[in-house]
Chains A and B, each alone.
Chain A
Amino acid sequence: MLFENLWTLENAAALVTLTGTPREDAGPPLSPAHRHPAGGRGLRKAHRKGLHRLRHGLFALRGASQPQGAQGIGTLNRRDGPHRVHPSPHASRAAMNSAPARDVRRLCRAGRCWTGEDGVYLDGEDTYDRQSACGPMNVQGLWILSEIKDIEVIASGRGVHIGRYLERHYGPERWRKMKGIAVVQLGDGTTCEAEIYWYEAHGIGRRDFKIKRLIR
């Protein structure tokens, strides 16, 4: 009875999204016959698996801070699919936009990307590094045409002046204020090198890019 209750709890964690609605593609719940035959060890493993799902569910909550029009990730069972899917280290947004829709949906379910107004976005802190290696990227309205160089940390933690706004919009994390130099395209189409500032946090990525000064 205890096993069945715990097993039901784990299945519920796997099948229910953060919003509390069942996933449409999750399929029927697993039967108790699929329980690990090793008894207690399997139970502990299942418990760890449940915690893993809950933990990734919390990560998926950050999807609420994605750009307007973006669809949330909203799934807890990252490991339950037929494949454990992760984009390759060389994945780019351009490649994702040309990928089959089925693969994109699979990655969205795995919490590795999301779709928005401008196509597919990759998740993770190194998203923009991957994009910069693949050509121009539009980062929150700012066109960055080159890799960002001379990156420096200006402030971190409580030293970030707008930390409360960052936490409100993107989530509570240890935010860092960064700066670097890159070639950008301005609103009138002019291309020039500029000193750009942004804020970044582990697991969320780089946000709120803005130009400090034009260099040339």
Chain B
Amino acid sequence: MIEYVVCINNKDNPASLIVGKIYRKLPDPEAEAHHMLRILDEDLSEPDGYLYPASMFLPVNLSDETKKLLMAVGI
């Protein structure tokens, strides 16, 4: 189940995140236990993503068709 979040705060990482942009959230239960999310940010050279505070994002519900389109473009 692929989940997406929208960035609402990029104050600490203005070059890696863009406010209002949708990012893919990767599963990382250990990080989520510490209120962190593993996000595939603008640096697509790292397919594992990076850990960011959960307060910087909000979850978004997208249709399956939208998710397929986003996956097709590599997000």
Contacts and interface: CB of A to CB of B under 8 A. Distances in A.
Interface of A: 67-68, 140-142, 155, 161-162, 165-166, 168-170, 186-188, 190, 194, 197, 199, 207-214
**B interface secondary structure, majority:** loop
B11 A68 contact: yes
Nearest to A167: B15
B15 A207 contact: yes
Contacts, number: 71
B35 A186 contact: yes
Contacts of B16: 162, 165, 208, 210
Interface residues of B, number: 24
Interface of B: 11-16, 30-31, 34-36, 41-46, 48, 50-55
10 contacts: A141-B12, A141-B53, A161-B45, A162-B16, A170-B15, A186-B34, A187-B54, A199-B15, A212-B50, A214-B34
Contacts of B31: 214
